[in-house]
Chains A and B, each alone.
Chain A
Amino acid sequence: MTALVPPAVSEPSRTTRGGSDPRRAHHRRLTPAVLFLAPSAIILGVFVIWPILQSLYFSLFDWTIGADSQKWVGAGNYIALTQDPRFWSALGTTLIFTSVTVVVVVTMGFLTALGLLQDHLLTRLFRSVYFFPTVVSLVSIGLVWKFLLDPSIGFVGGILKFFGAEPIAWLQSTQLALPAVIFVAIWKNIGFAMVIFVAGLKAVPAERYEAAHLDGATDRQVTWYVTLPSIRPTMLFATLILTIQSFQVFDLVYVMTGGGPLFVTDTLVNELYREGFVNFRTGYASAISWVLFAIIMIISALQLRLFRYNDVD
């Protein structure tokens, strides 16, 4: 803490601070704030905020990159979406992927956190092991699991063979490909939920547990009536973040199945990528992105409601 602030020798103008001209004083206060904000503001403005508006605008046109003029279609892209079986299938896949992943990950993450709550060497080691898949890229994870599930070289098939069963071509099967991708997403995210729950559980005041035990509550009652209500905000946070992430699933599908077989694992963002960057149907892909945004907003709002976020504890 020493020598934090060397005495200012420069900036003699500071001595005139608080002078009689209020307009100049205001101006002086505004300028540094603008300078501090400028880099982020320009980047966010040019590459986030303006594109958000543009995307909505594009979605109203039959827009194609590089064309001389773009045709206004109004709600045409959105209407076309409702008649596109591939969109409905992608939406359904995304909904199944999200709901199964979120429910299983939140439940298992919570149980794992309960099991690993105490702090000693072994629990800390286990927490690291469970958390590690969270920091690894989905590309590496997708690649490894694609090979693990391969019927000829994969370890999963090898084990099945070892026990006398036939190896299964998980990712080539229209019935098993989606469950397999969902399994990998769950596998990757349990550690993420666990870490959030460990932090949340540790923040619950110990007096609440003591009071419950004094009143003669059993362990199960304590979990049900003390722990769960106390970590409602954590529960909400984990559910919300996982839902938003899962709706945007892309990498895992792209690497593991490419959306196949027969589009059964095709999700909204995979469809958006294909329409926007393979087929160059800019307007149509923009409409998909706005549908995605709208669904995420609606589901987030429902979850906030469900967890009664505004209730006073």
Chain B
Amino acid sequence: MSTETSRLRKNWVSGQAAAVFRWTLLGIGGLVALVPFIWMVSASFRSEADLYGNPASLFPTQWTLHGYIGVWEQLPFLRLLLNSFIFAGAATILCLLFDSMSAYALARMRFRGRTVAFVLVIATLMVPFQVTLIPVFIELFHLHWLDTYQGLIVPRATSAFGIFLLRQFFISIPTELDEAARIDGAGHWRIYWRIILPLAKPALVTVAILNFMNLWNDLLWPLVVTSSPDMLTLPAGLTLFGGQHITDHAVLLAGAVISLLPIAIGFFFAQKYFVAGVATTGLK
């Protein structure tokens, strides 16, 4: 009896020890994940002298706004911000429309070559986009679309991944609804617009967030398509100016803080869609 209780107590103790161990590790991990962002925000409010003088400090000894003032004065920052919004915003909206239309056709319409079309969409997902980068650059050159909004946006106005994801979702919507609508005389456009799209809101939000995030964060594509400072997006602008003209750390960090704000705010309010976009898509 007493050996039994001592064994139980030992189990309880080892269980507690394991929990302490586990949470210590998770806590350290959490700090490692978070501290760079804390440092980033804090350093964007610090002077160069402060940064050089107290590198071990996580917080400013003296707060200064010169980073945030400098980013507007030393960079075409408003233009970069606007370009990022136009590029990511327009491409996301077009993607939602075009991807959902294709997904509707692939999920709900019968036509010859449907399987081939779907396989082709999947196949393009397997090719790394760098393979297409050079020929697309040459195409845009011949179209005189380099360094223009249409050059940035149109090639990104549909995504095979979005088509795939939405098609999978549309298939899960019961067909009784469209059959009922069809009996009432509704055509495909009406079924697509009035029945499927409203029911697919969660999937549409997921695709929208995933697309916007990827486009907003992208570096290589805007770097290749644009060249004048007036057409650069935030990531490309920060990278290019950071490498050349600007040596003040707070200025660049202020730019980086502002550029991650829209994503951080979206993440705060709609985290589950970010997670859904990243995780569930792979789980059939």
Contact = CB atoms under 8 A, between A and B. Distances in A.
B22 A198 contact: no
Contact of A49 (B120, B198, B216, B224): B120
B219 A138 contact: yes
B99 A52 contact: no
Given A14-B187, A55-B134, A297-B126, A153 B249 contact: yes
B188 interface: yes
B110 interface: yes
B133 interface: yes
A148 B217 CA distance: 21
Chain A interface, DSSP helix/strand/loop, else mixed = helix
Interface stretch (A170-178, A205-213, A286-294, A305-313): A286-294
A97 interface: no
A55 B279 contact: no
Contact of B134 (A7, A47, A241, A286): A286
Interface stretch (B64-72, B153-161, B200-208): B153-161
Interface string A217-246: 000000000000000011001100100100
Contacts of B238: 139-140, 143
A195 B217 contact: no
B85 interface: no
Interface in A229-283: 233-234, 237-238, 241, 244, 247-248, 250-251, 254-255, 258, 269, 272-273, 276-277, 282
Interface stretch (A78-86, A99-107, A124-132): A124-132
Contact of A241 (B39, B99, B219, B282): B282
Contact of A199 (B32, B57, B249, B280): B280
A198 B55 contact: no
A87 interface: no
A135 interface: yes
A187 B28 CA distance: 13
B102 A192 contact: no
Given A11-B185, A137-B260, A46 B139 contact: yes
Contacts of B37: 132, 136, 144
A192 B253 CA distance: 24
Interface in A88-136: 112, 115-116, 126, 128-136
Given A258-B243, A289-B133, A129 B283 contact: no
Contact of A33 (B111, B185, B195, B271): B111
Interface residues of B, number: 105
Nearest to B43: A147
Contacts of B97: 39
B267 interface: yes
B25 interface: yes
B217 A136 contact: yes
B184 interface: yes
B105 A37 contact: yes
Contact of A277 (B124, B137, B163): B137
Contacts of B271: 128, 131
B102 A40 contact: yes
A265 to B, nearest CB: 15
A115 B39 CA distance: 27
A290 B154 contact: no
Interface string A34-77: 10110111011011111110110010000001000000000000
B190 A8 contact: yes
Nearest to A122: B23
A71 to B, nearest CB: 17
B90 interface: no
B55 A154 contact: yes
28 contacts: A4-B198, A11-B185, A14-B185, A37-B101, A37-B105, A39-B94, A40-B101, A43-B158, A44-B124, A44-B158, A52-B124, A55-B131, A112-B29, A130-B30, A131-B274, A135-B264, A135-B274, A140-B40, A143-B256, A147-B252, A162-B56, A196-B282, A248-B130, A254-B219, A255-B242, A273-B224, A285-B134, A296-B128
Q: Which 3 A-B pairs have the closest CB atoms?
A: A158-B55, A8-B185, A158-B56
